[in-house]
Amino acid sequence: MLQTRVIPCLLLKNESLVKTIKFKKYSYIGDPVNTVRIFNEIEVDELMFLDIFASKEDIDINFRILQDIANECFMPLSYGGNIKSFDDAKRIFEIGFEKIVVNSNAFKNLDLIEKISSHFGAQSIIGSVDVGKDFFGKKHIYSHHGTKRQKYDILEWVKRLQAAGVGEIIVTSIEKDGTWGGYDIQTLKEVVENTNIPIIANGGCGKIEDIRDAVKLAGVSACAVGSMVVYQKKGMGVLVNFPNKNILEEMLK
């Protein structure tokens, strides 16, 4: 197992996998269960599934597809997408997922995180923070798949999530998403320096050097990867893959 976690972050839309660019344009990748089978063979350490339109369109959690994924998967799983209640979280854990990811509904009900964390433990819940820029280039937090700007300052909100009981936080750059241009190192570094829980980098990874930079320069504990593990290369066709673990280990020493 890699010392620094590198987590394929797979996006669900209905019952298909897709990949977005800057949270807008999306392309079909394939069937989630078949994709899990490939990651099983590659022996990936952890998988994350995010239903990207669930909160935005207020779609109920598709527990059936989550059960199909869990039945097939040999590694720890996390899921995010319109988790509204303690019972939603409980059912996801009962299906076989180890962690849940909460974003949009935390703004409506931060007590939900406290309740889940106190019952299942902080290790079971990931706070999700999507960072985007306004017309003037100022960074803000957005929810509902990047469509609703929230009033909280980025660092204020991550501190609130930590205080509420999340075990780690995934920080996603909307501007970097799907661009292959590297993570938002500046924002990640600021978040790491102002929290004392693991931070997961997300959005923009295009090569293993980007993972190295997020770890070495920003100090993150884990990196989520999307485009790089579902495409052959930038601008080329779908190919589910994973970076060479020996090369990753050597680079992250």
- The answer to whether 153 is a known catalytic residue is no
Mapping DSSP to helix (H, G, I), strand (E, B) and coil, where does residue 6 land?
A: strand
**Active-site pick, 31, 88, 111, 130:** 130
Distance of CA 229 to CAs 34, 180, 219, Å?
A: 14, 11, 22
Half-sphere exposure of 46 (CA within 13 A, CB side): 18
DSSP state of 203: S
Mapping DSSP to helix (H, G, I), strand (E, B) and coil, where does residue 226 land?
A: coil
Distance of CA 225 to CAs 9, 73, 78, 214, Å?
A: 6, 18, 14, 12
Kindly list the catalytic residues. Answer: 130
